[in-house]
Amino acid sequence: MNSKGTFSVLIVSAAAKFNQVLTEIMLPDEYYTQIAGNVGEGRRLLLERDFDIVVVNTPLPDEFGVNFAIDTADSSGSGVLLCVNAEFYEEVSSKIEEYGVLTISKPTSRAVVKQSLQLIKATRRRLVKMEQKNASFEEKLTEIKTVNRAKWLLIDVLNMSEKEAHRYIEKLAMDTRRSKINVASEIIKDYTKP
């Protein structure tokens, strides 16, 4: 999902009519779509870039498509929608639901496809927010570890108390208008023996 809220979609389908209907449903202001005619091409495109949503329309010329859907859901953050003929729906959906793949049976209606895409979009938005929170948490954890390491070096090398070392790092960061992690990294570089 880009900053404008447009979702990138990879459609892996060999059926021209299906592709046409899907691209008509996916308006350009909401979706940016690319089409792969087989699994091999789909895998190549997934190696080149990330997609928010991957729609797999089975069967495909080089393989059925279920394993591709599972691999994609398992190895990426993409929401995966698998479209299978009604006769295979029960068997396939029970096999892949544990991987987080949403399955719909064909033939289907535009409304069901739209609802499925809305569900995947909502889930993808939540996942992106969680990833951002996780990244923020990781950054904060790295900062705490770096500052603590710098404090212990100041305690060890300059015989400061923990409180003095903490205050020294905070004051130096404020006085030089730099972040605490930047100051701590410099202290580590200066006081670590080669």
Residue 84 has which token pair? 């299978």
Residue segments in the chain with a per-residue pLDDT below the cut of 70: 1-4, 194
Give the integer Cα–Cα distance in Å for 65 and 47: 17
C-alpha–C-alpha distance, residues 37 and 88, integer Å: 21
pLDDT given for residue 184 in this prediction: 93
Cα three-residue angle 72-81-69, rounded to 5 degrees: 30
Task: Give the pLDDT of residue 34.
Answer: 95
pLDDT digits over 135-146, tens only?
A: 888 888 899 999
- Show the DSSP H helices in the chain as ranges: 16-25, 39-48, 66-75, 86-96, 110-158, 162-176, 180-191
- pTM value > 0.85: no
CB atoms closer than 10 angstroms to residue 76: 14
Q: What is the pLDDT of residues 72-82, one digit of tens each?
A: 999 988 999 99
Confidence at residue 164, expressed as pLDDT on a 0 to 100 scale? 92
